[in-house]
Copies of this chain bind each other. A is one copy, B any other.
Amino acid sequence: MRNQPQKKQHHHGNLREALITAGVGLLNEGGLSALTLRKCAARAGVSHAAPAYHFKGLNGLLTAIAARGYQALAETMIEEREAAATDPHACLVAICNGYLRFAQENEALFDLMFSAKELCYDDPELQRESALARQVLHEGCAPFKHGSAGNEGTEIMIWALVHGFAGILRKRRVRPDHHPANNIRFEDILPHLECV
């Protein structure tokens, strides 16, 4: 067993990371259907069955890549928040725009994270990263309350709104013209929120 996790070892040396990188690359280039255990293996220069050792199977690899996706999603949201003004409303809008930017810049990865593919939802890494991403949204929502709903309802409302809007924008790629959400920014559909 390796003592130093980043130490180069045996045949490949840190193959797990190389397989995830290969997977993200395949995802960006060919979409969700191009993400394959065997193609990942080929891209990393190992045999076709090597990934099954590091991940519990295809679902394991997908889960690891999805966890990476949640990490990147959180980073994008934080990045937008830092670049925004400091008042709570601008922060929340910035966080949501980060969410939307991530969804559009990493379409296949976003698909993987929220697709019907059965990931290993009990994977601790996936749970940690997705919880971290949700934490960013949670913090952004904290200063607000929303009409009829309690404080928790506000977060659900924002979450549903931004996630649903991301899904709508995703379909714009198919038929870019005459798309109903063409000239609509997130700020336009964000309802009024009262400070708590």
Within 8 A of B (CB), among A148-196: 148-150, 152-153, 155-157, 159-165, 167-168, 174-175, 180-181, 184, 187-192
A45 on the interface (CB 8 Å rule)? no
The interface bits of chain A over 106-138 (1 if a CB of B lies within 8 angstroms of the residue's CB, else 0) are: 001001101110100100000000000000000
| B contact residues around A163 at 8 Å (CB) | 160, 164, 167-168
Contact across chains for A184 and B152 when beta carbons are under 8 A apart: yes
Residue of B nearest to A149 (CB): B188
What is the minimal beta-carbon distance from A97 to any residue of chain B, in angstroms?
14
How many of these chains are in the complex?
2
Question: Given the known A-B contacts A115-B116, A184-B152, are A191 and B159 also in contact in the complex, defined by CB atoms under 8 Å?
Answer: no
Residue of B nearest to A193 (CB): B191
Q: Report the count of interface residues on A (CB-CB < 8 A).
A: 41
Contact across chains for A149 and B116 when beta carbons are under 8 A apart: no
A31 on the interface (CB 8 Å rule)? yes
| B contact residues around A115 at 8 Å (CB) | 111, 115-116
What is the minimal beta-carbon distance from A75 to any residue of chain B, in angstroms?
22
A146 on the interface (CB 8 Å rule)? yes
Contact across chains for B184 and A146 when beta carbons are under 8 A apart: no
- Complex Cα gap A184–B156 (Å): 9
A147 on the interface (CB 8 Å rule)? yes
Question: Given the known A-B contacts A167-B164, A180-B155, are A148 and B187 also in contact in the complex, defined by CB atoms under 8 Å?
Answer: yes
